[in-house]
Structure formats: structure tokens, C-alpha cells
Amino acid sequence: MGLLDGKVCIVSGIGPGLGIELARAFAREGADVAVGARTVSALEEAAAEVEALGRKAYLLRTDITSKADCEALVAGTVKALGRVDVLANNAYIPGAFTLFEDADLADWHATMEVNLFGSLNLTQAVIAPMKAQGGGSIVNVNSMIQKKPLPYQSGYATSKGALTAATKMLAKELGAYKIRVNQVFMGWMWGPPVEGYVVGTSAQMGIPQDDFIAGITKDIPLGIIPDDADCANAVVFFASDLSRVVTGAGLDVNGGEFMS
């Protein structure tokens, strides 16, 4: 028995990191999985892995900044897989890394368009089918950055801060329909994106990779960079009935680097 037996989950932002780990985790726990992203090859890889785990998969190239794309992904999921029980809003862009005084606010708008309004487009699209079936779970993948500010990432942090407020408001509005809305605040996550950053930055700095990683983990009480797959399990919790009475909540998933 899996935690998600009989459920259908949608994951946005499929790529070589948390997105594909979410698809794997949902499938391992017994769910059929729909995936949406702009890169078709990533979608095909994720769908193949879901099917290899014995579950059904549906894929559609999706730009979440397009309301029509989001509606098509949800409608296609319902047609192919029968329902929508879970939405994991994972798609994001980091925006430009600049100090605010040097920032082009057009970049902030673009970052908001994906990280906030894109997630809201997809959320809005799942409300009708979730209401019709008597409930569902929406999980927003948020970031530690808006709790532990860092220079050069103010646009990204601001977009995630707005998502925090939206999560709470939507939990309040949708609770009457048994639709739960929660969020996970991810910190460092070990997977292809972070591994590439570590390799490139340590080489640029001329220091061993282990020393560079030690500089990161010194601030993490568990002493590790959490793995993408382990972080995905936190989303599984909110997707499952284990959290059936939890809504409007945020869970820090960062090895203890920041404690709310």
C-alpha cells in the first residue's frame, strides 16, 4: 500500500532536479502522474520513469505563464487519468542575480510571472475538478531564500514571498471545498543543478569540491546538503492523507539551516 494509492498528481517544472524526483516519489507511492514543463525531452523521461514504476503517465508541453496551457494540462489530465487529486507547483525561474539598485525591474516582473502568477494559473485550473470530486491537495514549492535573505536574489525572494501570502489566502478560501493548500520551504538540495553549481564554482575559486561543500554544510545542523529525493518526500506528506487536517501550513525542508 502506498501513501497515494488511487490518486492522480500533477507536477509542474519537470527537469533534472526536484521535478523529476516528485514524479518518481508520487509514482512510487501509488499515484498516476501528469507532468508539465516547456522541455519535451524532460517530460518524456519523467513519463517513462512513472510508467516503469507501474503507474500511468500523462505529459503535455506547458508554459505555466499561459493560462490556456495550464487549462489544457488539467483538462488533458482529467481526460487521460480520470481526476486530479494533487497539484505540486514546482516550476520556477531564479531571475537575474543582481543587487536591487542595479536591477532591471522588468526582470522582477518576469520572475513574478512564473513563480507567482504561473503557479496561480495552474492552481486556478485545478479548482473546478477538485471541487467536483470533493477535495484535493495543492502544494507550493517555496524557498528558504525569502526567510533567510541573500544578496543578489531579491527578485526571486520577493516572488516567493508573494507565493507565501497566496498560499495562506487560498487555504482560507478553498478549505470549505476540502481543498488543502500548503507549502514547503526548500533550502540547498543535492541534485544535478546544485552539483553543477558546486563543480563550477569550486573550480572557479580554485578549491577542492569537498571544501566548498563544507562551507555550505557548516550552517546546516544535520551536516549534509539534503538530497532532492528526500526533499520530495516532504511534498508527498502534504499530498497524502497523512496531512488531511493540515492547510495553510509551511514546512522548512533544509536540514535545519533555517528554523521558523
Residue of 152, 156, 177, 197 marked catalytic? 156
Per-residue pLDDT at 101:
93
Q: Is the pLDDT of residue 178 over 90?
A: yes
Q: What is the pTM of this model?
A: 0.95
Higher-confidence residue: 70 or 192?
A: 70
Q: Do 75 and 85 meet the contact criterion of CB atoms below 8 Å apart?
A: no
Per-residue pLDDT at 25:
98
* Burial classification of residue 163, based on how many CB atoms lie within 10 Å of its CB (0-12 exposed, 13-18 middle, 19 or more buried): buried
152 is an active site residue: no
Of 4-8, 76-80, 92-96, 110-114, minimum mean pLDDT range: 92-96
Per-residue pLDDT at 8:
98
Mean pLDDT of 19-45: 97
Mean pLDDT of 176-182: 98
Domains of the chain from N-terminus onward: 8-188+227-253 (3.40.50.720), 190-225 (no CATH)
Confidence grade of residue 146 (pLDDT, cut at 50, 70, 90): confident
Q: Is the pLDDT of residue 141 over 90?
A: yes
Render pLDDT for 190-213 as a digit per residue (tens, 0 to 9): 988 888 888 999 999 999 999 999
